[in-house]
Structure 1
């Protein structure tokens, strides 16, 4: 009995040792497998950091747009065959803290390593494409008709081509698909506006590159508007106006103001008038309704039957009357607080004068606009009659 019991205990111990040996070998095999996988992964990672073509002498221009994410930059580089793997480039730059990349145009080569490319992107690129052959400048406050005239004069594209494209439903829809937050208000007002994209072609200087299409040029203007206005989207959502409204008011401010201080004061005047359902009576709207720039607004001009005519209509009208700068948008969102309801400019100095009452406005008009006239009577009836003939700014 004793011998049998000892034998059984010995068999059990041997069995346990065998099981542990199996576990030990499995553990070793797992470690070796993980090490092999890790080594393979590391070698693959290292290989992906090598130049795409070490012998290449080719130079490829790429543009890194403003506010591009790391994923977008990595994809741009991979799409242009400048790196082997966008994911590996993204991991490498983040691990090494090299992600402070600058917007601009870069001349890069497939023979550059990932580190060399990262270094160049951190140093900053050129603001101008090396392929640029021409420039076009859209001044602040130009409307679409004026912009297409600039295109006609400064490029090989004609005025009629530009207008036709700007009125194309397919082109407008393609822009909306790309910039829905920017253009939603424009599309909602499309049936009422003369030009759907009025107010959405940002005033700036644009490079005309080799083989650049008219569609690409106009898209660049909308893209620039999106870039400039995006920082204000949240603030606009929290206001009582939508983006289309803000751009409409900004277009009036752009045409009326001579400096940033005046922008804020004039924006305040328009907002004060809107708050009490008072006609804006801005000459800008009359000129736009008449389809021309008016040096002086007459009663005949102001009587035109158009929803854009804000002498005859209360509110903002269908939409922007020109393409304003971001400074005018900022002024609308951060107007100067005042009780002013009127303003006019000195015809000689262009200095702007503001008034709280119509009587005060008429007195300043006599001094700064019609210097030969006596200050008008301020009787209530005369003030009401004159209000029909005098613009907010002469």
Structure 2
């Protein structure tokens, strides 16, 4: 009996490896071909996709892999197993089948690779111009404010050696009672000047004390807050007048001593009067602001009236010389300091304008003045030789070491010295000396000056 042939084995392969796929391929191994089964065609739902499909078809294993599994015979070396190299993007995958590749157009040029600029150079990261200008602008404003503060501080700083009345507890006021003013007008004037707080009360005192018709005209220096009794005594003084002559080159201290010896005024009364004068007229200093000459003053008010008279006389003298071109280059106080130095250096009127030219020439060149009279004023000694240590010390009045003018005048100048300071003689001199022959000798250079020292300062 013939044996029934075995039905060929069937192997089903899943091409996509997905559970959801229903398509399969049957492979018949050996034997006769199996009868074809009638297959009912299934309706395939049409799909449209733009994706490319990749089909993985496993193939037979390479012979090299099968041979590697066989045991190696004796005497033969096993083959060296190569370490698989990682596959890059440039090596194609043999198990992938590209169903469709992008077409390349040779006519279209390839786009060049865009390299972005550094961050600091990108347009979006650039610092705006307004921000760049803000920093220097703020710096300039800061420097300007600092300069203003320094200027204000220096303008308000007090000069060395000068005592102003602002430091005193009471301030002085300068006022003038003119002819024809009534007691009521005088009371209102004193109230407006700040000498008294209530002008009506002062007027009542004048009437009660029978002083309303006895008030004297003239210039006065009064301190604020004076009692009514002192004001009345000051305005009705009937003491005799005296004539005081202040010689050129007198200092404030020497004038104070002169009043004490001549009129028996208390020591320091004239110095106090000059401090009150500086406070009343807002002067930087008084030494140099008082013009020498002869003045008629009341004996009881000699110190106060003398200071006022000398100051007013200097104002009148300065008004005569305001046409000088040096007024635009120097202040009035600086020119008066120069006038006081000229007066301290010589008493001869003929020498004053040439000495003034030496001072102005040195100031214009920025050279030290080298005037020993300023050091003598600082020491308060006009007779004895100047100690070498004083000439070497760096002080505001040592014009050998300090460039420029001293901080104040050094004496009371005459009219001729004031004129010489405002109108110096034109010359090329930078040096001068008073020789043993009682003459003044000028020089243009230091070599000439040394020759003058040998010729006129050294004893034969």
> TM range, normalised to the smaller chain?
0.5 to 0.7
Aligned to 1:141: 249
Given the alignment of the two structures, is residue 360 of structure 1 paired with residue 448 of structure 2, yes or no? Answer: yes
Corresponding position: 1:320 with 2:409: yes
> In the alignment, is residue 296 of structure 1 matched against residue 385 of structure 2?
yes
- Indicate if the aligned counterparts of 2:263 and 2:299 stay in contact, CA closer than 8 A: no
In the alignment, is residue 241 of structure 1 matched against residue 330 of structure 2? yes
Q: Distance in 2 between matches of 1:165 and 1:153?
A: 17
- Per the TM alignment, residue 370 of structure 1 is displaced from its structure 2 partner at its CA by 1.1
Whole-Å Cα distance in 2 between the matches of residues 368 and 286 of structure 1? 23
What residue is the counterpart of 1:23 in the other structure? none
**TM-score, L = length of structure 2:** 0.46
Q: Please list, as runs of the form range in 1=range in 2, the aligned pairs for 1:314-393 lying within 5 A after superposition.
A: 314-347=403-436, 349-372=437-460
Change (3 A) 1:295 1:270: farther
Q: Does 1:209 align with 2:298?
A: yes
Q: TM-score, normalised by structure 1?
A: 0.54
| TM-superposed deviation, 1:211 | 3.9
The number of residue pairs the alignment matches comes to 230
Residue 325 of structure 1 deviates from its aligned partner by: 1.2
Q: Distance in 1 between matches of 2:325 and 2:302?
A: 33
Deviations 1:194-217 (A, max 9, x none): xx2111121111223254353222
Whether contact under 8 Å (1:310, 1:316) holds in the other structure is: yes
Is this contact kept in 2: 1:233–1:243, CA < 8 A?
A: no
Q: Report SS of the residue matched to 1:214.
A: helix
**Structure 1 position 133, deviation (Å):** 4.1
Please state how far the C-alpha of 1:165 moved relative to its aligned partner. 3.2
Residue in structure 1 matched with residue 271 of structure 2 by the alignment: 163
CA distance in 1, matches of 2:296, 2:278: 22
* CA deviation map 1:359-389 (0-9, x unaligned): 11111111111124xxxxxxxxxxxxxxxxx
In 2, the alpha carbon distance for the partners of 1:294 and 1:303 equals 19
The 5 Å alignment of 1:64-79 reads 78-79=180-181
Partner in structure 2 of residue 277 of structure 1: 366
1:289–1:304 CA contact under 8 A, matched in 2: no
Q: CA deviation at 1:350?
A: 1.8
Deviation per CA, 1:143-172, whole angstroms, max 9, x where unpaired? 11111111111123122222233334xx43
CA-CA distance at 1:141 after TM superposition = 1.2
Q: Distance in 2 between matches of 1:294 and 1:210?
A: 32
CA separation of 1:231 and 1:132: change in aligned 2, threshold 3 A: farther
1:140–1:254 Cα contact (<8 Å) kept: yes
Q: Evaluate the alpha carbon distance shift between residue 334 and residue 217 of structure 1 in structure 2; reply closer, same or farther with a 3 A threshold.
A: closer
* Structure 2 alignment gaps of length 5 or more: 1-176, 184-237
* Equivalent residue number for residue 225 of structure 1: 314
Unmatched tracts of structure 1, length 5 or more: 1-74, 82-129, 177-183, 188-195, 373-394
Query: SS where residue 232 of structure 1 aligns?
Result: coil
| 1:172 and 2:261 aligned | no
CA RMSD of the aligned region, Å? 2.5
Q: Distance in 2 between matches of 1:285 and 1:249?
A: 11
1:304 Cα deviation after fit = 3.3
- What is the SS of the residue equivalent to 1:233? coil
Give 1:306's aligned residue: 395
* 1:268 counterpart = 2:374: no
Counterpart selection for 2:287 from 188, 193, 198 = 198
The 3 A distance-change label for structure 1 pair 364 and 295 is farther
Larger Rg: 2
